[in-house]
Copies of this chain bind each other. A is one copy, B any other.
């Protein structure tokens, strides 16, 4: 096969495999009362670490009322907490509860599972090559 075409082909298949791992992780029982969107909100809260409502709304790109609604629901469901800022009493900082941390970890599980699958398919030398080559891709970008 033409090398360029072969690469696109591999990218396509790997991407759809990753998608399947994501979907499988998302079907976990513990995630059953959360939508994909809600999980995304929780991921962003983790990523930003103790964001305010405004931080969240800027990062996600939705209005503040939308954030209020979404966050309140996640608080009611027990995945988030809001704590008053000490410096400015208008402001809240958001954090994951233990349950929140747990579901974010389950979500991350997809990557672990995928990595596990790869390492089961390859020998040590190939694994090292994969890490080495993709580190180059990541750094080059």
- Looking at the complex, which one of B10, B128, B141 makes contact with A17 (CB distance below 8 Å)? B141
What does the 1/0 interface line of A111-129 toward B look like (CB < 8 Å)? 1101101111110101111
What does the 1/0 interface line of A1-38 toward B look like (CB < 8 Å)? 00110111011111101100000000000000000000
- Looking at the complex, which one of B121, B129, B140 makes contact with A141 (CB distance below 8 Å)? B121
- Residues of B near A17 (CB, < 8 A) are 138, 141
Decide if B14 touches A137 in the complex (CB within 8 Å). yes
Using a CB–CB distance below 8 Å, which chain A residues touch chain B?
3-4, 6-8, 10-15, 17-18, 108, 111-112, 114-115, 117-122, 124, 126-131, 133-138, 140-141
